[in-house]
Amino acid sequence: MATTPADDAHRSVETAALAAAGLAAAMPRLVLEARRIAMSVQHGLHGRRRSGSGENFWQYRRFVDGEPANRVDWRRSARDDHLYVREREWEASHTVWIWPDLSASMDFASRGQAPKRERALVIAFALAELLVKGGERVGIPELMRPSANRRIVERMAEAVVLAPRLPDSLPPAFAPSPLSEIVLLGDFWSPAEEVAARLHALAASGAHGHVVQVVDPAEETFPFSGRIEFHEPEGNTRLTVGRAESWRTDYELKLVEHRARIRLAAEQLGWSFAVHRTDRPASELLLAIHARMGAGGAASTVPKGGGHAFVAGGPA
């Protein structure tokens, strides 16, 4: 029996409603998991302080010819043969936007793994917790204004559950300030040219960003064999394959090509790129992102056997 566009739309709304209900039910568990992960890595992290226009003392540095004389700290300079400037800690104007992909494709999970959506949310919440404790402001594009509230995780969870419309599979087109930093957590299975175009739009203001492709192990290894029916979660398309294993090589080649195009787009913008599999510890990714943000552009080290490949201006 053929279905009409109205039937497909109704089915999509029902699916979205069920997904929203499931997400709301899971949210308390995800909040607790995010807090546990944030606490487990917090003691091993270095702060993200940097010099700038804040009021707290940061460090002394040598005076540079051409600077205004009123910047000299004469008390410190009197103890040495050099002139010194008292730098203050960078504060206030920095915002981190975190976008967790909530679209239908993120609901996928192979046997024994958590759904990609849950992993993206846990990482988003845990990262926000760490950033706010470090003095940053965190927001979710189109869902939550930047905030440094100590209950940032609960605020984010409420904003996600009360999202007013069906989520898209690409981050919204918004205009972050040049001082902003953006963290994108999604599977990015949309056409590579669409992903690249959205990254370029987000970077147009000068904001720096980090792209994390969250994938299930089955999406990496294509372990399927025999007669399999594949279902597109965001388009109601179904494809039945008689010998799925015969598709594996072509699938792997397409995956490499797709990922390389997204990596190149990020690289051209000076953004970082990483791949995270849901069978890897969430704390591993959290540490990698936080270190990458604190590095201010330096490439991160890829752990042996890990699922991450951060890139900034060079090949992974």
pLDDT in tens, 257-291: 999 999 999 999 999 999 999 999 999 999 889 88
The total of other beta-carbon atoms located within 10 Å of residue 184's CB is 27
Q: How many residues belong to the chain?
A: 316
Lookup result for tokens 């597109």: 232
Give the pLDDT of residue 167: 73
Residue 141 banded pLDDT, cuts 50, 70, 90 = very high
Residue with the larger pLDDT of the pair 4 and 177:
177
Residue 155 φ/ψ, nearest 5 degrees: -65, -45
pLDDT average, residue stretch 122-148: 92
Which neighbouring-strand residues pair with 211? 184, 273
CA distance 224 to 217: 12
Tell whether the model's pLDDT for residue 297 goes beyond 60: no
pLDDT average, residue stretch 145-155: 91
Mind listing the pLDDT tens digit for each residue in 17-73? 555 566 677 788 888 888 888 888 776 555 555 544 444 555 677 776 666 777 788
Half-sphere exposure (Cβ direction) of 286: Cα atoms closer than 13 Å: 29
Residue with the larger pLDDT of the pair 254 and 225:
254
Q: Which residues contact 51 (CB under 8 A, 6 or more apart)?
A: 58, 59, 87, 88, 89, 90
* Alpha helices (H) in 164-297, listed in sequence order: 192-203, 217-221, 248-269, 282-295
CA distance 114 to 135: 31
Q: Which helix (H) or strand (E) holds 300?
A: none
Give the pLDDT of residue 58: 54
Q: Do the Cβ atoms of 126 and 37 come closer than 8 Å?
A: yes
Give the pLDDT of residue 156: 93
Tell whether the model's pLDDT for residue 162 goes beyond 50: yes
Which amino acid is located at 51 in the chain?
Answer: S
Tell whether the model's pLDDT for residue 309 goes beyond 70: no
